[in-house]
Chains A and B, each alone.
Chain A
Amino acid sequence: MSNLGRLLGYLKPYRARVVLAVFLMLLVTASALPMPRITQYLLDVVLPQRSQSRLLGVFWAIVGLYAFRGVASFLLNYLLGWLGQRIVFDLRFQSYRHLNRLSLSYYDKRQTGKIMARVIDDINVIQYMITGGFVTLITDILTLIVVMPVVVWMQWQLAVMALVIVPTYVVVYKLFLKRIRALSVELREKWDALIGALQEKIAGITVVKAFHREGYEVDRFMTTVQDNYTLGMSQAKLNRLLGLIVTVVSAGGTGLIYWYGAILVLHRQLQAGELIAFVGYIGYLYGPALRLVDFNIQAQWAGAAIDRVFETLDTRPDIMDAPNAVALASLRGEVRFRNVSFGYDPSKPVLHDINLEVKAGELIAIVGPSGSGKTTLVNLIARFYDVTEGEVLIDGLDVRSIRLESIRRQIGYVSQESLLFSVTLRENIAYGFHDATDTQIIEAARNADLHSYIADLPDGYDTKIGEDGVKLSVGQKQRLAIARATLTNPRILILDDATSALDSETEAHVQAALDRVMEGRTNFVIAHRLSTIVNADRIVVIDAGRIVDVGTHAELVARPGVYKNLYDEQFRSAQDEALAAYLG
């Protein structure tokens, strides 16, 4: 429960309001006390005396009491609502800021839906617990503290009878608690499983349909729904049973008090009104016991939610600015790998002892079999991951000593998958450079051979993409991503297989533009197509995480090795035929 303590720490900045809220809670609690006494006064004094003026007094007392209670509870609830929303805001802000700090390795391992659930659902659950259950709990405790002396003072024998029942609650409650807790943990897990399965199968619907597995998927999904159903029912059963026992016990207790109280009244040791008032107070004692059951269930959910939220907040970002990191306003674009080894899992290295020195303005092509570490290599330049050993230097400085933002702002990165956002084409292109002028945006689109397509759309650059927007082909998405990257005018440009879905004709257009764009920058290109690769100043050949060869196309084809094999295998047969056809 130390996490609960930590959560309460979030209230600290609002200390004054919390104190005020507790004070108001006291007032609200206290305002509930006089009512049974007023009833008693009415029964025992006003009515037997037939005093009209006192009756009018009772009337105004009730109106006044409720007016007071109304004002106090309005203020209290307003304050609590504010505090609850404020904590939600603070937690969401912190979580989201933290999520943005976390490095890609965090996202690699988690489904987006689950991360979302933490920022949204978990924090909502926490809010409900704080402003709902938690406040009720405090109010109930306050009420108990205040009412206990009152009942003892009114009639101690009756009070003892009333309190004797309390241990029964505790025992019953203890008996149920464990099973309820276990069930709610299980329920939560099954629900997560349901959400996970749903997310995956809806996102992967193309595969489901391609293999015609619709019926199979419905059956599978229904088993998870069935699990939730069964658990939900047994939880309800348990809760009802507990509720039932508690109600029976408190009904028996109240009955006994009436019994003994009636005898006292008949023996003139107690007034009738007093007994009614007494039972009224006992209601204040038993009510909290009933509510405790509900609170417990709520607390179970909230406890899990709190743990998860703090777990996220406690995940240390592996990539952070060093305290004395320098900002580089303008990079020259020299990149150097010095004895670099890296593994996503440190025990399983993906790159071994990489040494590579790239001068500013060079065009480097990286080739190698899939899984050989090409993408990993370029990901180290923008410091999406930190090296396990060795160092990556930009302009002679270890990337870990440069401020992340100044590196990434000056690196244009186009990844294998083109991720676009559901906003307009203009906003997508200008994502890296919000202040871009229309001319600059059109220029970037033109460079990516996309301008003519966009200009033909009815809404042009203001066309929304994604849901309710226009549907782009994979090639168009890639070109948009290229436009986005070139708009920022980066010093280092990384194209990770960014043109794979472009057909040759488009690629030729883009290639011409890219050649222009690449000028004056350091460029890293991962590509499979020869035409992209041959223009490189140097070709780096990677195999199983090691650099096995470096050189120009002419040099590499001239000597036996991985590159020559790749080249021969891919092009020989086509080439021969082409030659035959071309040379006649």
Chain B
Amino acid sequence: MRNLTRLFGEVKRYWGILLCILLLTAATAGLGLPGPLIIRYLVDNLVERKPFNIPLFFGLYVGVSIASSLVGAGLSMTVTYLGQRFKYDMRRKLYAHMQTLPLGFFEKNQTGKLMSNITNDVATLDQLISGGFVTLVSDLVTLTAVLIIVFRMNAYLAAWSLVVFPLYIANYLLHIGRIKKRADEIREERDVMLGDLQEKLAGAMVVKSYAKERFEVRQFVGQTRNLLELNVDQGMMGTRMWTLAEFIGSGLGIAVIMLIGGRQVMAGSLSPGSLIAFTSFITGYLYGPILRLIQINDQIARTNAALTRIFGTLDTEPNIKDRPGAVALPTITGAVEYDNVWFEYEPGQPVIKGVSLSVRAGQMVAFVGQSGSGKTTMINLLSRHYDVADGAITVDGHDLRDVQLASLRRQVGVVIQETVLFNTTIRENIRYGRLEASDTEVEEAARAANIAHVIEALPRGYETRIGEEGIKLSGGEKQRIAIARAILSDPRILVLDEATSALDSETETQIQTALERLMEGRTSFVIAHRLSTIVKADIIVVMEKGVIREAGSHQELLERGGIYAGLYLQQFEVALDQQRAERRT
């Protein structure tokens, strides 16, 4: 229910449109009422064969019909407008909010679920608002008006026509519990199926390489068969309920009115026309609205899940945001200081434990260590994807938490492990690094990243589309495009996380020169496993389980004979052996 009040809060600002809808609803209801009365006038005159003003009747009948459908169309347009407007604003709000959330949020939530948050959940809300609420209002208005009219026309008959109602409601209540339960089961089963499907389609490579196609099909069939049975069962219960409802409402209801009303007509206390009008009032305007009123409850319940998800997203506080009064980081020289930094993803499980590291502007830092030792976390903290739990990180003496996020990230260029390129042209992908860059600058960046010759050899050059319906690039080519993108953004601090892992040695050497040129005058942080990339670093930081075990230049660390020296010798043992052998000969 709290969700609902909040939803009202969201809808409140459309009060102008809502007022419009209310007025139009009242008008529609009002215009719907004269219909049966006009028919009564006709029938009564015809039964008595009393001449009457036929053109006047025609005018009234057609006029009322046209007026009511005009108002109806206006109402429906206004409702559509409200719905579209609501969806537009809500999607903007959700998407904009998601963009402010830190990476951790996206790691915890599957892409598919976040998408359906923006697409399906919002659509569900719209159904409640432009479907449920509007009908609710219109039904309430109609119901009140019709009840007043029928009781004034003939209170006795009106009372009789309500006799079948308890049956009607009992039928509904009897069924709805089980139908709802089934609906929940269906939703659960469906979610499982969707999750599996998404994963197995995205992982087609694995399914195929283990020849598990038939196994997967069997699993899928099992799930869809369950879904089939649940759906059929739910459909059966729903059909039974609605069929009974039609029988009670239309069948029994009309029969009772005809019987009781017929007796009154015979007794002379009711005109035949009134009987016909009465029947159409009751069947057309009474049963439907009452049923829908009972149902709105159910509709709200169904929407509740969507509401919870949407508000859940909106309520996720971006834990990384500009603090009030945060200043824009001026152009930095790139001196970085980790001061007794602690960090944990999960409470109680620190992954960085009291790390201190001082980097001067323009230095190159290489992180070395086992997977899981905290290397990636160290650089994620630098781009402030997460905030330190304790201690501080400063850039040029500014605590990261005191400066505007945008001004920080603009000066930190990152090339990450998994290369993400977008479904657009190569040019646009590179330009993503700096949107206002000219074509020449894009091409220069491509050249610096050593990918220009590959691109230029393509028939459509920089205009070639990547991804779906586009060309297939090798892992190394993708990475070089990502590097070009980072080069273009001209950062003060450069972060390369495994950026060169998919490059073969030749390309890496070529790019190494480009990167060295790029690194010049910038502070750079590199995570690479190949020692040849690392040996040139000003500071090599050896990490283990969240602490710095060794830090120093290649030469210093070798002399110390610690972990790094061990790693180094191990990797080059073969080469060294060979070299020694060569020297001996």
Write the chain A residue with the least CB distance to B69: A247
Shortest C-beta distance, B363 to chain A (Å), equals 19
State whether A375 and B468 are in contact (beta carbons under 8 Å apart), knowing that A254-B61, A557-B578, A571-B575 are contacts in the complex.
Answer: no
* In the assembled complex, A100 has its CB within 8 A of some CB on chain B: yes
Shortest C-beta distance, A421 to chain B (Å), equals 5
Write the chain B residue with the least CB distance to A114: B468
- B212 pairs with A432, CB closer than 8 A: yes
| Residues of chain A in range 507-522 having any CB-CB distance to chain B below 8 Å | 507-508
- B475 pairs with A58, CB closer than 8 A: no
Contacts of A508 in B (CB 8 A): 570
Contacts of B69 in A (CB 8 A): 243-244, 247-248, 251
Contacts of B258 in A (CB 8 A): 42, 55, 58-59, 62
| Residues of chain A in range 305-364 having any CB-CB distance to chain B below 8 Å | 344
Shortest C-beta distance, B173 to chain A (Å), equals 19
- B272 pairs with A43, CB closer than 8 A: yes
* In the assembled complex, A397 has its CB within 8 A of some CB on chain B: no
A433 to B199, CA, bound (A): 19
Shortest C-beta distance, B359 to chain A (Å), equals 20
State whether A570 and B532 are in contact (beta carbons under 8 Å apart), knowing that A93-B220, A344-B472, A419-B205 are contacts in the complex.
Answer: yes
State whether A212 and B454 are in contact (beta carbons under 8 Å apart), knowing that A58-B258, A93-B221, A577-B535 are contacts in the complex.
Answer: no
Q: Which of A173-181, A230-238, A438-446 contacts B (4 or more CB under 8 A)?
A: A230-238
A466 to B195, CA, bound (A): 12
A47 to B380, CA, bound (A): 87
Q: Mark A152-184, 1 if CB is under 8 A from B, else 0.
A: 000000000000000000000000000000000
Q: How large is the interface on A (under 10, 10 to 19, 20 to 34, 35 or more residues)?
A: 35 or more
Contacts of A214 in B (CB 8 A): 99-100
* In the assembled complex, B331 has its CB within 8 A of some CB on chain A: no
Q: Mark B86-125, 1 if CB is under 8 A from A, else 0.
A: 0110011001101110010011111111110011000000
From the candidates A104, A405, A474, A501, name the one contacting B211 in the complex (CB within 8 A).
Answer: A405
- A202 pairs with B255, CB closer than 8 A: no
From the candidates B81, B345, B568, name the one contacting A233 in the complex (CB within 8 A).
Answer: B81
* In the assembled complex, B370 has its CB within 8 A of some CB on chain A: yes
- B228 pairs with A77, CB closer than 8 A: no
- What's the dominant secondary structure at chain A's contact region? helix
Contacts of B197 in A (CB 8 A): 96, 116, 119-120
Contacts of A81 in B (CB 8 A): 231-232, 235-236, 239
Chain B CB count within 10 A is highest, among A78, A116, A207, A226, for A207
From the candidates A66, A368, A581, name the one contacting B247 in the complex (CB within 8 A).
Answer: A66
Shortest C-beta distance, B40 to chain A (Å), equals 11
Contacts of B422 in A (CB 8 A): 200-201, 204, 207
Q: Mark B115-144, 1 if CB is under 8 A from A, else 0.
A: 100110000000000000000000000000
Write the chain B residue with the least CB distance to A414: B209
- B435 pairs with A202, CB closer than 8 A: no
Q: Which of A19-27, A140-148, A255-263, A386-394 contacts B (4 or more CB under 8 A)?
A: A255-263
| Residues of chain B in range 323-354 having any CB-CB distance to chain A below 8 Å | 345
State whether A232 and B84 are in contact (beta carbons under 8 Å apart), knowing that A66-B252, A218-B99, A370-B476 are contacts in the complex.
Answer: yes
* In the assembled complex, B489 has its CB within 8 A of some CB on chain A: yes
* In the assembled complex, B51 has its CB within 8 A of some CB on chain A: yes
* In the assembled complex, B522 has its CB within 8 A of some CB on chain A: no
From the candidates A104, A113, A251, A407, name the one contacting B62 in the complex (CB within 8 A).
Answer: A251
Write the chain B residue with the least CB distance to A110: B468
Chain B CB count within 10 A is highest, among A203, A210, A474, for A210
Write the chain A residue with the least CB distance to B231: A85
Shortest C-beta distance, B270 to chain A (Å), equals 10
- B531 pairs with A574, CB closer than 8 A: yes
- A265 pairs with B88, CB closer than 8 A: no
State whether A370 and B530 are in contact (beta carbons under 8 Å apart), knowing that A202-B111, A243-B73 are contacts in the complex.
Answer: no
Q: Mark A366-377, 1 if CB is under 8 A from B, else 0.
A: 011111100100
Chain A CB count within 10 A is highest, among B112, B113, B555, B559, for B112
| Residues of chain B in range 535-585 having any CB-CB distance to chain A below 8 Å | 535, 554-555, 558-559, 567-576, 578-579
* In the assembled complex, A437 has its CB within 8 A of some CB on chain B: no
- B212 pairs with A101, CB closer than 8 A: no
* In the assembled complex, A225 has its CB within 8 A of some CB on chain B: yes
- B420 pairs with A203, CB closer than 8 A: yes
Q: How large is the interface on B (under 10, 10 to 19, 20 to 34, 35 or more residues)?
A: 35 or more
* In the assembled complex, A17 has its CB within 8 A of some CB on chain B: no
- A211 pairs with B409, CB closer than 8 A: yes
Contacts of B454 in A (CB 8 A): 371
Q: Mark A24-54, 1 if CB is under 8 A from B, else 0.
A: 0000000000000001001100110010100
* In the assembled complex, B356 has its CB within 8 A of some CB on chain A: no
- B502 pairs with A497, CB closer than 8 A: yes
From the candidates A114, A368, A528, A575, name the one contacting B575 in the complex (CB within 8 A).
Answer: A575
* In the assembled complex, B12 has its CB within 8 A of some CB on chain A: no
From the candidates B39, B110, B207, B227, name the one contacting A100 in the complex (CB within 8 A).
Answer: B207
* In the assembled complex, B166 has its CB within 8 A of some CB on chain A: no
Contacts of B504 in A (CB 8 A): 367-370, 372, 528, 566
* In the assembled complex, A88 has its CB within 8 A of some CB on chain B: yes
- A74 pairs with B240, CB closer than 8 A: yes
A15 to B201, CA, bound (A): 34
Shortest C-beta distance, B82 to chain A (Å), equals 11
Contacts of A217 in B (CB 8 A): 99
- A369 pairs with B95, CB closer than 8 A: no
Write the chain A residue with the least CB distance to B114: A202
Write the chain A residue with the least CB distance to B534: A574
* In the assembled complex, B507 has its CB within 8 A of some CB on chain A: yes
State whether A100 and B213 are in contact (beta carbons under 8 Å apart), knowing that A89-B225, A240-B77 are contacts in the complex.
Answer: yes
* In the assembled complex, B203 has its CB within 8 A of some CB on chain A: yes
Write the chain B residue with the least CB distance to A481: B206
Contacts of B213 in A (CB 8 A): 100-101
From the candidates B73, B433, B555, name the one contacting A581 in the complex (CB within 8 A).
Answer: B555
- A210 pairs with B115, CB closer than 8 A: no
* In the assembled complex, B372 has its CB within 8 A of some CB on chain A: yes
* In the assembled complex, A190 has its CB within 8 A of some CB on chain B: no
From the candidates A109, A202, A275, name the one contacting B106 in the complex (CB within 8 A).
Answer: A202
A86 to B224, CA, bound (A): 10
From the candidates B47, B55, B228, name the one contacting A85 in the complex (CB within 8 A).
Answer: B228
- B76 pairs with A240, CB closer than 8 A: yes
- B212 pairs with A206, CB closer than 8 A: no
- A473 pairs with B204, CB closer than 8 A: no
- B259 pairs with A111, CB closer than 8 A: no
A57 to B250, CA, bound (A): 17
* In the assembled complex, B49 has its CB within 8 A of some CB on chain A: yes
- B532 pairs with A573, CB closer than 8 A: yes
Q: Which of A4-12, A191-199, A292-300 contacts B (4 or more CB under 8 A)?
A: A191-199
Q: Which of B148-156, B175-183, B260-268 contacts A (4 or more CB under 8 A)?
A: B260-268
Q: Mark B372-416, 1 if CB is under 8 A from A, else 0.
A: 110010000001010000000000000000000110011001101
State whether A408 and B211 are in contact (beta carbons under 8 Å apart), knowing that A195-B119, A262-B46 are contacts in the complex.
Answer: yes
Q: Mark A404-420, 1 if CB is under 8 A from B, else 0.
A: 11011101010111010
Contacts of B113 in A (CB 8 A): 467
Write the chain A residue with the least CB distance to B417: A474
Contacts of B509 in A (CB 8 A): 569-570
- B73 pairs with A240, CB closer than 8 A: yes
Write the chain B residue with the least CB distance to A488: B210
From the candidates A47, A371, A404, A421, name the one contacting B477 in the complex (CB within 8 A).
Answer: A371
A232 to B576, CA, bound (A): 70
Contacts of A67 in B (CB 8 A): 247, 251
* In the assembled complex, A489 has its CB within 8 A of some CB on chain B: no
State whether A502 and B529 are in contact (beta carbons under 8 Å apart), knowing that A66-B246, A202-B114 are contacts in the complex.
Answer: yes
A245 to B372, CA, bound (A): 69
Q: Could you jot down 19 A-B contacts, CB within 8 Å?
A: A47-B47, A93-B217, A93-B224, A203-B420, A207-B420, A233-B81, A248-B69, A266-B51, A272-B43, A272-B272, A369-B506, A419-B202, A422-B195, A503-B529, A505-B570, A529-B529, A530-B575, A531-B571, A566-B505
Inter-chain pairs besides A262-B45, A384-B205, 7 sampled, C-beta below 8 Å: A210-B414, A244-B70, A258-B42, A501-B417, A504-B529, A562-B506, A570-B530
